[in-house]
């Protein structure tokens, strides 16, 4: 029984969509952290810093796990992680603009269709 009975998207497309939104949230939390830090609000900086840190770790892990499947170069993946919020917005824009390559989508669909 499929996990998503009415959904025609592949697992790779669902992963890419999740990464797109996590990258957007990562960039937004960084901006929030920067606002609190520049404003001198210690409590806001600590709270947003920990929140941003957790989201950044999720973003980094997701980029590393999907990079090969979505056929990104390791250079792009490392640059996206190292540049922080700029990389997060690059990842968001690349997924929004390009999506999942068609041949990667077909490969994932064939793997999902194989009987266990």
Which position has the higher pLDDT, 12 or 58?
58
Q: Quick one: pLDDT at residue 103? A: 72
Q: What is the pTM of this model?
A: 0.82
Contacts 24+ apart (CB under 8 A), 90-98: 91/19, 91/20, 91/23, 91/59, 91/63, 92/20, 92/23, 92/24, 92/27, 95/16, 95/17, 95/19, 95/20, 95/23, 96/20
Identify the residue whose tokens are 């603009």. Answer: 97
Spatial neighbors of 96 by CB under 8 A, at least 6 apart, are 20
> What mean pLDDT do residues 11-35 have?
93
pLDDT tens column, 95-106:
999 888 877 766
> What mean pLDDT do residues 74-86 have?
94
Which position has the higher pLDDT, 104 or 14?
14
Whether the predicted pLDDT of 80 surpasses 90: yes
């Amino acid at each position: 029984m499929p996990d998503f009975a009415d959904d025609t998207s592949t697992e790779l497309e669902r992963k890419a969509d999740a990464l797109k939104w996590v990258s957007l949230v990562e960039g937004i939390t960084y901006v929030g952290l920067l606002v609190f830090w520049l404003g001198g609000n210690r409590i806001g900086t600590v709270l947003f810093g920990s929140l941003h840190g957790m989201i950044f770790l999720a973003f980094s892990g997701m980029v590393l796990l999907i990079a090969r499947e979505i056929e990104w170069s390791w250079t792009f993946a490392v640059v996206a992680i190292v540049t922080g919020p700029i990389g997060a917005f690059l990842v968001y824009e690349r997924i929004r603009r390009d999506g999942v390559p068609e041949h990667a989508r077909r490969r994932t669909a064939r793997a999902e269709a194989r009987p266990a």
